[in-house]
Structure 1
């Protein structure tokens, strides 16, 4: 069983080349774009590191964004600005060596808690993500994410107020 250090920001010296989550597109994004996006300030990548080997067990990225009001269910559109501010959970991946150990869940909890805490300062309707397939959709569904009915990209969202109601960002 891996012993993980607390979540921390990606560092330029982190070994991104040996990371392998089993999805080449996610591996390549991490290797080629994660650090550059962080330098540019367009997203922040947070990693979990194995305390023994120093290997990156997983990563998650957050940034801000917006969605068109029409993508929300009709009941959620009322009295909302257009577009609606959101947090974007752009990437979440776990290295094969650490899969099945709760790393994805830990990274998601970190991202959702961070989003709730930051939303108290800048305001946001929810956390949006674009799952790659049905298995990933199922993972997000277990944490309260719902499909946006009007979004052609089949994004999923969880509302900040629902996260707060479920204890994210408390105490």
Structure 2
């Protein structure tokens, strides 16, 4: 995970209109599970832990959410199950707003 800046043009439209030209975020650089351990919920556990860490960072650094570059459209579908959204301009750059993160980790 790392801090990042993203142009609002790369946010889903309903979020882009809420922010200035550039927004701060947390970027999940790489998340993978070895093939032999896939389909066991490990990826979900790692992703939820990443969300928790993003929330801690947001509480201290003022970011708007978590960003991830999906490796493929198949991987994009995985992230979308957790509420990540993309845009037509950059469909593999996905965004999960802080409000959604809070809802997910507090439930």
TM-score by length of 1: 0.57
1:72 is displaced (CA, Å) by: 2.1
Matches within 5 A, 1:113-152: 113-151=52-90
Contact 2:3 2:25 in 1 (8 A): yes
Pick from 66, 70, 77 the counterpart of residue 16 of structure 2: 77
* Equivalent position of 2:94 in the other structure: 156
Contact 1:125 1:160 in 2 (8 A): yes
Q: Where in structure 2 are there 5+ consecutive unaligned residues? A: none
Q: What is the total number of aligned residue pairs between the two structures?
A: 106
Contact 1:72 1:149 in 2 (8 A): no
State the SS of the aligned residue for 1:147. Answer: coil
User: Any idea what the Cα deviations from partners look like across 1:113-163, whole Å, max 9, x if unmatched?
Assistant: 110122011111111111111221111010000113333x63111101111
* Equivalent position of 1:8 in the other structure: none
State the SS of the aligned residue for 2:67. Answer: strand
Larger Rg: 1
Give the Cα–Cα distance (whole angstroms) in 2 for the partners of residues 133 and 80 of structure 1: 27
* Equivalent position of 1:24 in the other structure: none
Contact 2:10 2:93 in 1 (8 A): no
Aligned-pair Cα RMSD in Å: 1.7
TM-score by length of 2: 0.87
Cα distance change on mapping 1:84 and 1:96 into 2, 3 Å: same
Contact 1:89 1:129 in 2 (8 A): yes
